[in-house]
């Protein structure tokens, strides 16, 4: 996947994870990095898979973290 395509795809997906608290913004930051990595390895990996991993990463430090995201978009 070319860089422009990757940037557009990740930016479009981030529109479905709203900004918010420090922890919510950390989720967005983790998603951004992990998603770019995932797409560079396998362009067809579902966004849902990346999102689940990023939520788990935030919950390692914040076990009571409640993620806000568009459940319809991510099909969760």
Instruction: Give the pLDDT of residue 76.
Output: 84
Q: Going residue by residue through the chain (76 aa), what tens digit of pLDDT does each one get?
A: 789 999 999 999 999 999 999 999 999 999 999 999 999 999 999 999 999 999 999 999 999 999 999 999 999 8
Tokens describing residue 9: 């795809």
Rg for the chain, CA atoms, rounded: 12
Burial group, residue 4, by CB count within 10 angstroms (0-12, 13-18, 19+)? exposed
Q: Where are the alpha helices (DSSP H) in 1-76?
A: 3-14, 22-41, 47-61, 71-74
Domain boundaries, the chain: 3-71
Residue carrying structure tokens 């806000």: 68
């Amino acid at each position: 996947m070319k860089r422009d395509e990757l940037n557009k795809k990740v930016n479009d997906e981030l529109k479905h994870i709203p900004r918010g608290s420090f922890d919510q913004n950390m989720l967005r930051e983790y998603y951004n990095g992990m998603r770019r990595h995932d797409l560079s390895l396998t362009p067809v990996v579902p966004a849902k898979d990346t999102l689940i991993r990023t939520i788990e990463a935030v919950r390692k430090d914040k076990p009571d973290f409640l993620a806000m995201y568009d459940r319809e978009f991510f099909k969760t």
